[in-house]
Amino acid sequence: MATAAAQLQRFHGARARSPGFWGMMLLIATEGSLFAYLLFSYFYLGSMATGPWPPDGPPSLKLVIPNTVLLLLSSGTMYWAESGIRRGLVGRLRAGLLATLVLGIVFLAIQGVEYSKKHFTPTTSAYGSLFFTITGFHGAHVFVGLLMIAVITLRAFLGHFRGGRHEAVTNVSWYWHFVDVVWLCVFTSLYLSPYLG
């Protein structure tokens, strides 16, 4: 009887995903759809604009390029942390999570500096509204991701994770990589595409 139960557990373990995994995938799918709608709105309104789009010309890349590099680096440190705990390397998990936290916080700080240098506001024009909505919404996702990372970092230092027990780390890792991919779409659409038109 015990052998049959063990075989059944191995069977389900190899094929079944946890509710946490599916919850994260559903969150990523719905949030991805929302960003797709926002970016579609940006390009649609841009195509209908009677004047230049963006109205003040292409945005400066001075801050956003290094900020994009920082966020991509944070995806690397998150992967390093998660792959470490898969091998049972708790120290690597802790170091990678701390590095990801620092990079994410710096990203938001630089975005705040960029906002302070803008000569338009969300109420200036349709472009201003979309720019701050899209980048601000993404910033909110970064903030939520940082909260998630802070929680699993605390748990990592409390010894909650080991080689065979790290699902929370994996789920948060999925979310963080999603946030980074979305930023690449935002960066390409809002910052690079105006230079191509």
Among all chains, which residue has been given the structure tokens 């390397």?
Answer: 89
Would 3 be classed as within a structural domain?
no
**Tens of pLDDT along 84-109?**
999 999 999 999 999 999 999 999 99
Question: Could you tell me if residue 99 is inside a domain?
Answer: yes
CATH number, position 34 = 1.20.120.80
What value does the mean pLDDT take over residues 135-139? Answer: 98
- pTM for the predicted model, two decimal places: 0.89
**Number of compact structural domains in the chain:** 1
Closest CA to 54 of 126, 127, 122: 127
In a domain, 2, yes or no: no
11 occurs within a structural domain: no
**pLDDT: which is higher, 10 or 186:** 186
* Residue 34 maps to a domain: yes
Is residue 69 included in any domain, yes or no? yes
Q: Which two tokens stand for residue 40?
A: 């579609």
Q: Is residue 176 part of a domain?
A: yes
pLDDT tens figures, 159-196: 999 877 899 999 999 999 999 999 999 999 999 999 99
Using alpha carbons, select from 118, 128, 138 the residue that is nearest to residue 179. 138
Domain containing 46 equals: 18-195
